[in-house]
Amino acid sequence: MIKILKGDIFDSQAQTLVNTVNCVGIMGKGLALKFKKRFPDMFQDYQTICKKEELKLGQPYLYKSLIPPWILNFPTKGHWRAVSRVEDIVKGLEYLIEHYKEWGITSLAIPPLGCGQGQLEWDTVGPILTHYLSLMDIPVEIYAPYEIPEAKIQLDFFKKEIKNNLRSSGLVKS
């Protein structure tokens, strides 16, 4: 079940929160900085993984704490100075879908991947998130950017966008 919301992802009751990260160990702006401040142990773990060059685009990793929320660090760009690429978002979503059950994820709250510091557009990212995350059989909350009009957070908008744009681009397989 998918809900599309506006608001603060940290208000979510989901078991797992998604954090947008780069692959070089920096959480200096945007949502990542907020995660860094709220979850310092997760940040240290993330830095260690980055120093070992184990974090790759297309391969989010789960940081499990003893008490939820768990944090899914989702690489949306290689370097903090880079822009995000839709292809990397799609690969990461495919990886998440392949692994969420074995990781034990039972509910998920996800921000608009790549739409802030990554400079991607909600009109592209929102439909992709909706398409892929609807394949999961857990509750999912998608947090839209604050400035997006209400009409663009309705499921009908996403269905139309997928049909009209994404299939022809080859980004969405089914």
What positions carry a catalytic annotation? Answer: 77
Question: What are phi and psi for residue 39, nearest 5 degrees?
Answer: -130, 70
Q: Where are the alpha helices (DSSP H) in the chain?
A: 30-38, 40-51, 86-103, 122-133, 155-161, 167-169
Contact criterion met (CB below 8 Å) for 70 and 108: no
Q: Could you give the 3-state DSSP secondary structure of residue 143? A: strand
The residue type found at 112 is P
Helix, coil or strand: residue 1: coil
